[in-house]
Each structure stands twice: as C-alpha cells, then as structure tokens.
Amino acid sequence: MVARWDSGAKVMRRLLIVVGLLVIVPIIEIAVLIAIGQVIGLGWTLLLMLATSALGAWLLRREGGKAWRAFQADLAEGRPPGNAATDGLLVLIGGVFMLVPGFVSDVIGAFLIAPPTRRLARAGVLRAFAGRMSPAAATSLFGPRRVKVRYGEPQHTPAQQPSAGATEAIEGEIMDPDR
C-alpha cells in the first residue's frame, strides 16, 4: 500500500511540474518577446523570429541527417546505437523547440542541436535513463560504460574470503562472452 502511494505521489509531482512549466514558459516567452520588441521594434522582432525558425529548420535537417547516418552506421557495424539514437532524439526535440515561435525556446533548441552542447545534454539523458535500466540493458543499448572504482583495501563481508593477490585493483572492460 505504501509503495503505491509513493509512486502515485511521484506521478502527481511530475504532473504538477509539467503543468507548471506549461504555464510559466509561455509567460516567459511573451515577456522576452515584448522586451525585445521594445528594444528593436516589432518588425525586426518578427523578422528575427522567422530567421531563428528558418535556422532551426536548417539545423534540424543538417544535424538530424548526421544523427541518422551515425545511427545506421552503428547498426551496420554491430555497435550499440544508443548514443546515436539519443543524439537523434535530442536533435528532433531541439528542432521542435527552434520551430516554435519565441526566443527562449530557440535558445533551448540551439543548445540541444549544437554538437558541443548536445554532448552535455546526451550525458544528462544517459545518466537519467541508464540508472533506471539494468546494467546489461544499458550496456547493450549504450555500449560499455566507465565505472567509478574505489582504491584501498577491499571490503569483504564475513562470508567472503579474499583470494591470493586480491588487494590490487586492475583496469578492464566487461565483455559479453556470447558476442
């Protein structure tokens, strides 16, 4: 009973955040549009909005094509396509943000589309989703991951007995023997 209540509370909290963003973001967009319109004039503001939407369409086509080709290359070479798929999704979301009229959404869209900042966004997305997956699923989707290693004496439970030479840490890669 408690687990249902906790998950219901999480869902309600997320719903409230989404509704809050749906109310706050348009207010911010309108305020920024008004402020820019007062500084450069209505005509220039509209022209700038059209230009950023056109730039967004062009970037969506260019970067989306690159992401699609990377996805296909990963599949053809048998590599996990997770990073390329995540890039493609971020480019798509960024393109939608840039096509929506408004300067705040254009900044968010440019952040998601531009390759250097898209890497930062991809790292955040991977951290969020890989933590919710099993290690095997995350590895098969996104490829081998780096793990944090603690140095020092190994911590053993009373049931575990260290084998000879178990005090040294080695660096390695976990491989699936069936592949």
> Does the pTM of the predicted model rise above 0.85?
no
Angle (CA) 93-139-149 rounded to 5° is: 110
Q: Which residues are CB-neighbours of 151 under 8 A, at least 6 positions away?
A: 169
- Give me the pLDDT at residue 71, please: 86
Rounded CA gap, 94 and 98, in Å?
A: 6
Q: Taking the domains of the chain in order of start, what are their residue ranges?
A: 2-142
Place of tokens 């590895």: 139
Residue 151 has pLDDT above 80, yes or no: no
Rounded CA gap, 105 and 136, in Å?
A: 36
Provide mean pLDDT across the span 32-46: 94
- Give me the pLDDT at residue 161, please: 56
Give phi and psi for 42, each to the nearest 5: -65, -45
Rounded CA gap, 91 and 115, in Å?
A: 9
Provide mean pLDDT across the span 147-171: 60
